[in-house]
Amino acid sequence: NTTGAEGGNGIPSQEDLKLYALQQKYTEEAAKRFRADGISQFVELKDAESGRFRALGEDPWADHAALNAKETVKNGAKYKIVILGAGYGGLLYAARLIQAGVASGPDDILIVDAAGGFGGTWWWNRYPGLHCDVESYTYMPLLEETGYMPRSKYAPGSELREHAERIATQWNLHDKALFRSSVKSVHWDEEAKVWNVKITEGRGPEEKSREIEVQAQYFVAASGVLTNPQIPKIPGLESFSGSMFHTARWDYSVTGGTPEEQNLTGLQGKRVGVIGTGATSIQLVPQLAKWAKEVYVFQRTPSQVSWRGQRATDPDEWKNKIAYKKGWQLERQLNYNSYLTNAPKADQENMVGDAWTQFRAYAAIVGSPAWGIIEPTPEKIGEHIARLYRIDAPHTEAARARVDEIVKDPETAAKLKSWYPTWCKRPTFSDEYLQAFNLPHVHLVDTNGKGVDSATETGLVVAGKEYPVDILVLSTGYRTPALGGGSPAVRTGVEIYGREGKPMDDKWQNYGAATLHGVCSNGFPNLFFTGLSQHASAANYVLTIEVSITHIVHLIATAEAKVGDGSRAVIEVTSEAEEAWSMETMRRAAYFSAVMGCTPGYITSEGEASQVSPDPMVMMKKARQSGWSEGLEDFMRVLEEYRAEGSLKGVEVTPVA
């Protein structure tokens, strides 16, 4: 029981009893969904045995002829900085490194990405209905520097990708990027004090791929969090004879339309099945409903769907209220973040003012400065979780009431209600999704938490009934970013060999996460990653990576200033400093125990993260993976104080001639 406080005289109050019943319901619903096979119920498209599934993972957007015509990177080429990833993270790295004067020469930067162009998430994902879910004014990076005004409060995918191009153009990055290329491994060369970076460059279906090795003084990774599309191992799926594709690789040749003009004429007269009801599906289903003859939505767990409030940007409001002064974007990002960390200042204006900013209990996974460090005792943890449930309950009740208000058929409405705390899955927002189920040709196939049983040549089977479909859309998400204990080597898919050839992944698997500020690790000099473990997080992922990148650029710039002109710097955190930082984050681990009651999903590695192990070593590794429990703004303060002190405490900087 985590409902905590009692009414007078030890007798539970009505509110406690209600909360207790709610919690029971959550537990029952979660129990339906826990599976012994955890994350192995899925296969990543790139690792699938089936050639058909592997092909679904290929880049549909790369212009191979144009890319093959460009001069490519020479084997043995030397760069100052190799950036892994050309998404918003990689672009931010490049822009900030250039701004700081760390990368000023023509061969200072090489950006490598498996994709055929800039954008990362926004390159790969082009499904109909795609938008950012965090307000574009706070989500799109470098708006002040580019002077760009997003066209609407929530930008569509095409505009988000366009913005990646804009950044690349402004910072002259087009000739500094190697696309269709996977970084396979990096090896620290102790003598030369550089990273040897092994890359496989894809050249499209007509040409053989190339193996290249380049040298880099620094290797920085911005490989993203949701980059590896996965599908469930549904028996018979491969035998489905109709068209089938994953949302992260939309097939407009089947559906008609383009990412910019989403006239899905190819769906006319067709029955479309969609597996999955996560954030992607919420955006997609209303678009399919406009064109297809029948839409079958196969649901395992309903998402919590709140109002969206999309609107065009008003240029006057933009000028006078939004982009109204230098530094406005960070101010707005932090204003927004303060609501999600349950710590808005009493008199402040809610600048973004959307449904996200009502989710005070989201603090369960992004931290809050409001409650200090939670002691790891059953009483304190119980109190903490009870508090979060209490803050969240009115909100989840309102979300369920919203379903009743919108969905006319009471049976369908009941199935669309979510029964888990808000923080267990990415919240979703739509003014069209629930409404779509009032249309006669949109059918909800609820699997009562079990998932689709099997597939046939002609459709999907649930509870013994076959649902024939012509086209099957796999809206089944991505590999969890926490795979491998959040090991940077696993996250990036790069084998990382540091000093004495030691693999970084061994360190993570044997001891757990070990970093300074979540961005670098002892034994791996001049290598940096954007924080996940031992770092704070925010609902706005761009703000999270901006915090990492600002810090990393400071570490490099300060170290270079220390060694002076004419020398290179080797930058490495000491093992004492990283252990001290790991202890700091471990002290904060108990705060995140509210995920224990969560329904499975990628946030909890399909429930694996919330299991308690009798092995203290396993629990210690979990604790080492912890985030910053006081939230991102507090974390920024800690990093700012560190930077202001100026000496790069705990970091060894060695000059190399």
Site of interaction with ligand FAD (CB under 6 A): 84-90, 112-115, 120-121, 123, 125, 132-134, 139, 182-183, 222-227, 280, 492-494, 540-542, 545
The site that binds ligand NDP (CB under 6 A) totals a number of residues, namely 28
- Choose the contact partner of 604 out of ligand FAD, ligand NDP, none; CB within 5 to 8 A by kind: none
- Choose the contact partner of 112 out of ligand NDP, ligand FAD, none; CB within 5 to 8 A by kind: ligand FAD
DSSP secondary structure letters along 555-616: HHHHHHHHH-TT-EEEEEE-HHHHHHHHHHHHTTGGGGGGGGGPPPSGGGTTTTTT---S-H
Say if CB 80 and CB 217 are below 8 A apart. Answer: yes
Say if CB 327 and CB 474 are below 8 A apart. Answer: no
- Closest to ligand NDP by CB, 124 or 628: 124
Per DSSP, the three-state class of 296 is strand
| CB 387, min distance to ligand NDP, A | 25
Counting contacts by CB under 6 A, is residue 607 touching ligand NDP?
A: no
| CB 332, min distance to ligand FAD, A | 14
Strand order in the sheet with 243-246: 243-246, 471-474, 271-275, 294-299, 442-446
Q: How many residues does the chain have?
A: 657
Counting contacts by CB under 6 A, is residue 117 touching ligand NDP?
A: no
DSSP secondary structure letters along 126-193: --TT-B-SS-HHHHSTTHHHHT---SBSS-BHHHHHHHHHHHHHHTT-GGGEE-SEEEEEEEEETTTT
Q: Which of 38, 60, 204, 232 binds ligand NDP (CB under 6 A)?
A: 232
Token code pair at residue 507: 């360190």
Counting contacts by CB under 6 A, is residue 475 touching ligand NDP?
A: yes
Q: Which of 57, 90, 259, 451 binds ligand NDP (CB under 6 A)?
A: 451
The interface mask with ligand NDP, positions 191-230, x = CB under 6 A, is -----------------------------------x----
Q: Which of 3, 301, 492, 522 binds ligand NDP (CB under 6 A)?
A: 301
| CB 398, min distance to ligand FAD, A | 22
- Closest to ligand FAD by CB, 301 or 558: 301
Range in contact with ligand NDP (rule: CB under 6 A) among 109-117, 399-407, 444-452, 590-598: 444-452
User: Which residue, 19, 24, 25, is CA-closest to 5?
Assistant: 19
Which residue carries 């009651």 as its tokens?
597
Q: Which of 602, 628, 635, 642 binds ligand NDP (CB under 6 A)?
A: 602
Range in contact with ligand NDP (rule: CB under 6 A) among 131-139, 329-337, 372-380, 636-644: 131-139
547 phi and psi, to 5 degrees?
-65, -45
User: Which residue, 398, 432, 389, is CA-closest to 418?
Assistant: 398
Q: Which of 81, 234, 570, 651 binds ligand NDP (CB under 6 A)?
A: 234
Alpha-carbon distance of 215 to 195, in angstroms, equals 6
CA atoms within 13 A on the CB side of 651: 31
134 phi and psi, to 5 degrees?
-95, 140
18 phi and psi, to 5 degrees?
-65, -40
Counting contacts by CB under 6 A, is residue 416 touching ligand NDP?
A: no
Nearest residue to the partner ligand NDP, using Cβ: 278
Counting contacts by CB under 6 A, is residue 89 touching ligand NDP?
A: no
- Which residues does 18 contact at the CB level (< 8 Å), separation at least 6? 393
Q: Which contiguous run of DSSP H or E holds residue 285?
A: helix 279-291
Counting contacts by CB under 6 A, is residue 236 touching ligand NDP?
A: no
Counting contacts by CB under 6 A, is residue 38 touching ligand NDP?
A: no
Q: Which of 485, 523, 601, 607 binds ligand NDP (CB under 6 A)?
A: 601
Range in contact with ligand NDP (rule: CB under 6 A) among 208-216, 250-258, 276-284, 511-519: 276-284
Per DSSP, the three-state class of 544 is helix
| CB 226, min distance to ligand FAD, A | 4
| CB 177, min distance to ligand FAD, A | 11
Q: Which of 23, 29, 30, 33 binds ligand NDP (CB under 6 A)?
A: 33
Alpha-carbon distance of 406 to 570, in angstroms, equals 60
Alpha-carbon distance of 211 to 202, in angstroms, equals 9
- Closest to ligand NDP by CB, 230 or 582: 230
Counting contacts by CB under 6 A, is residue 278 touching ligand NDP?
A: yes
| CB 540, min distance to ligand FAD, A | 5
Say if CB 522 and CB 514 are below 8 A apart. Answer: yes
Q: Which of 44, 59, 133, 630 binds ligand NDP (CB under 6 A)?
A: 133
- Calculate the CA 20 to chain-centre distance: 32
Which residue carries 């998400």 as its tokens?
477
Say if CB 606 and CB 544 are below 8 A apart. Answer: no
- Closest to ligand FAD by CB, 2 or 548: 548
| CB 630, min distance to ligand NDP, A | 23
CA distances for 598 relative to 170, 234, 306, 607, 614, angstroms = 43, 24, 19, 8, 20
Counting contacts by CB under 6 A, is residue 157 touching ligand NDP?
A: no
Q: Which of 73, 132, 494, 648 binds ligand NDP (CB under 6 A)?
A: 132
Range in contact with ligand NDP (rule: CB under 6 A) among 329-337, 476-484, 514-522, 546-554: 476-484
Interaction site with ligand NDP (CB under 6 A): 33, 131-133, 226, 232, 234, 275-281, 283, 298, 300-301, 426, 447, 451-452, 475-478, 601-602
